[in-house]
Amino acid sequence: MTSILALGSWIAAGSAALVPLPHSVQEGDGHFEISPATAIRHDDALAGEAALLAGDLKLAAGHEPRLFGERLKILLPSEIRIDLDATLDLAPGGYRLESSPDGVEVVGKDAAGVWNGTRSLLQLIGCGAKDNPKVPAVSIVDEPRFQWRGMHLDVGRHFFGVEDLKEFLDWMAFHKLNVFHWHLTEDQGWRIEIRKYPKLTEIGAWRESTPPYGNRNGDDGERYGGFYTQEEIREVVAYARQRHITIVPEIDMPGHMAAAIAAYPEFGNSDVPGYAPKVMTRWGVHPYTLAPTEEAFGFVDDILTEVCELFPSEYIHIGGDEAPKGQWENSPRVKELMKEEGLKNGHEVQSYFIKRVEKMLEAKGRKLIGWDEIREGGLAPSATVMCWRGDGIGSAVASAKEGHDVVMAPNSTLYFDHYQAPAGAELAKGAEFEAIGGFSPLSEVYAYEPVPGALDAEQAKHILGVQAQLWTEYMKTWNKVEYMAFPRIAALSEVAWTRPDRRNYDDFRSRLDGILACYDAAGVNRAEPFDPPKRETKDGSTVSTSLGIHENHWPELVFDGRMDTFFWSNRALKAGDHLTIAFKQPMAGKVEVRTGGAEGREEDTLENGVVEASPEGTEWTEVARFRNGVANGPLPEGSGRLRIRVTDPQTNWLKVREVLLEAE
């Protein structure tokens, strides 16, 4: 597995690339050097955390510190100490870190707090293998804002190996995320071995085809699938537990069950017309739901028994989302059940189903959590709600006011299957950059506030935390998963950990550069952050135009040094319309002006126009004419102004992407 500690990064002005930002950071004088003599002294209860830290430091420094239990009273010339203090006035997971030229001490409220403190220590060192790395003198007091700091991964649409999952867990730990929501079942594939029902993986884990990128209703004609054995699941669970990450498994029901029903058709609504279940080869919502029969409930109970044996988590996620009601409402058996139980419609059938499942989980000592559709028809008494639809606020407020715990996971902001840069710019790179839709750039993820304003302080306690989702319809490879997750995972971590009054996007963005270096050194296939454009030029030049402005595509963006931003007019072009740059200082050299869509696509280009230059804006000299939306020419010495002028009317609007200058 690739090391996440592969490159040093200690960024501007002596500030560490700490993400998420701690509660309190006080910089001191000097530094502590990690040398071959450095050892780790640890509380006996922290032997596991000490061993993992020693392994991390070996990657960072090239030598592995020796380990000493605290009861062994021996003078160590160079010491990193990790310890526990349950009396710390901090939330669970909180810690105190003190470093000075004499040594480093990490004290946790609990073992998770110590672990979190060691992750900050690694970020202070920087992600790099180097001789005798240095820890700056610093005092940190830190605690998490939320106890549920989650990342979700769908392995039903596309399947990923154990080593990929372990690396992802390492990165979660690096950013102090502590819940991994493992979406294990889908219409398109069942991914968990259930020994009592072997056909779930023999049949349900395989589909006959998959839509290729760029053709959502097409077929590649290739059999696809895979699943995790119970031994592999135990391995991943143990790996996560060592890193203080809880894995919450999801067995999605009663909808999204086509793969399971294809394997065991008797547990579906087999009495409806046209019943022909199969493992689905298309994305989207499909009609096959589990039947609310005693036989099907026995099937579910058996599955959950094995799931609970594999996963020690307090919560078991049962999905509950996007369950079509059509088969139930057309099933004679379900109609009879509705009469017997006094159920008015399909929503109440779903509520009946979820309440039955909740009782199964309670009998096993577990809690039910589900997507917010579990509210339909009446919420199960002790259920926790994961709010995903829209901004999630409506279902979150209703659930919290009713006394139910809530995890915020809104698709409007925290669905990492959405584009993180404008779709046109992404798709111009190739069909493999396709996403499901939406636009959730880094800045919007960072700006998200999980606690709805409509809740009072007591009700707000029901907001357990926040989680981002990786749905993988358009993520065929682990490289693509990384591209969609990173660096947005860093923004999520700060939303989940850091108090709102401590958060500032510009500050986060400066710290993120050091974290990006860590990703790059480790070979993570990250995306380039899409920072929101600012209405300013790159050097203080000014821009004016006779044209109106479409949305936030300001004139200044033609000279901001970015190819992903552009000016966009809001009307057709008239002869004499202009866009004029007044340079901060006189310019000369070669000039190129590109108009229209990205990568030369012909939309809103300028065909009838010229580029002109002037010393002061009174007398103008033609520099170039536009051909195919592009103009090139020499900019005369001493040019104080550059003007793009429309010479004849055009019916289209105008996009000007960037004015490029090359000095001679």
**Structural domains in the chain?**
24-142 (3.30.379.10), 148-521 (3.20.20.80), 542-662 (2.60.120.260)
Instruction: Name residue 114's amino acid.
Output: V
Token digits for 631? 């103009």
Residue 115 has pLDDT above 70, yes or no: yes
- pLDDT category of residue 9 using cuts at 50, 70 and 90: very low
The structure tokens 């062994």 sit at 72
Q: How confident is the model at residue 424 (pLDDT cuts 50, 70, 90)?
A: confident
Asked whether residue 641 carries a pLDDT value surpassing 50, the answer given is yes
- 440-444: long-range pairs with CB below 8 Å, 24+: 440/412, 440/413, 440/414, 440/415, 440/416, 440/488, 441/529, 441/530, 441/531, 441/532, 442/487, 442/488, 442/491, 442/529, 442/530, 442/531, 443/491, 443/505, 443/530, 443/531, 443/532, 444/413
Percent of the chain residues past pLDDT 90, beyond the cut = 89
- CA angle 152/158/160 to nearest 5° reads 75
| pLDDT number for residue 157 | 98
Q: Residue 129's pLDDT band (boundaries 50, 70, 90)?
A: low
109: CB partners within 8 A, 6+ apart: 84, 85, 86, 88, 90, 91, 92, 93, 94, 95, 143
Extract the tokens encoding 301: 């109970």
Instruction: Tell me how far apart the alpha carbons of residues 45 and 486 are, in angstroms, rounded to a whole number.
Output: 34
**Mean pLDDT throughout 241-270?**
98
Q: Which of 336, 360, 357, 338 is nearest to 347 (CA)?
A: 338
Backbone angles phi, psi at 301, to 5 degrees: -60, -40
Q: Which of 588, 592, 591 is nearest to 638 (CA)?
A: 588
State yes or no: pLDDT of 240 exceeds 60: yes
Please name which of 225, 224, 154 lies closest in space to residue 184, comparing C-alpha atoms.
154
Query: What's the 3-state SS for 301-340?
Result: HHHHHHHHHHCCCCEEEEECCCCCCHHHHCCHHHHHHHHH
How much is the pLDDT for 128?
63
Beta bridge partners of 10: 16
Closest CA to 392 of 368, 369, 378, 373: 373
- From CA 377, how far away is CA 112, in angstroms rounded? 39
Sorted by sequence, the CB contacts under 8 Å of residue 212 that are 6+ apart come out as 218, 219, 220, 431
- In this prediction, residue 61 carries a pLDDT of 84
What was the pLDDT predicted at 189? 98
Q: Which of 234, 413, 212 has the alpha carbon at shortest distance from 306? A: 234
Which pair of structure tokens corresponds to residue 366?
């577990």
Per the listing, tokens 């809690």 go with 367
Rounded Cα distance, 655 and 558, in Å? 9
pLDDT at 132: 81
Cα-based torsion angle of the residue sequence 120, 122, 125, 126 in order, rounded to the nearest 10 degrees: -100
The SS3 assignment for 75 reads coil
- State yes or no: cis peptide before 324, omega within 30 of 0: no
Residue 127: its pLDDT value, please?
A: 78
Q: Please determine, for residue 302, whether its predicted confidence score (pLDDT) is greater than 80.
A: yes
Reference 465, options 244, 171, 151, 145; nearest CA is 145
Render pLDDT for 572-624 as a digit per residue (tens, 0 to 9).
Answer: 999 999 999 999 999 999 999 999 976 544 589 999 999 999 999 999 999 99
Strands 437-439 and 418-419: parallel
Q: Are 472 and 417 in contact (CB under 8 A)?
A: yes
For residue 379, the Cα-to-chain-centroid distance in whole angstroms is 28
Q: What stretches of 158-203 show up as alpha helix (H) in DSSP?
A: 162-174, 199-202
Question: Quick one: tokens of 369?
Answer: 């959590």
Beta-bridge partners for 545:
579
CA 67/CA 515 separation, integer angstroms: 28
Q: Taking a C-beta distance cutoff of 8 angstroms, is the pair 316, 362 a contact?
A: no
Whether pTM exceeds 0.75: yes
* d(C-alpha 325, C-alpha 255), whole Å: 9
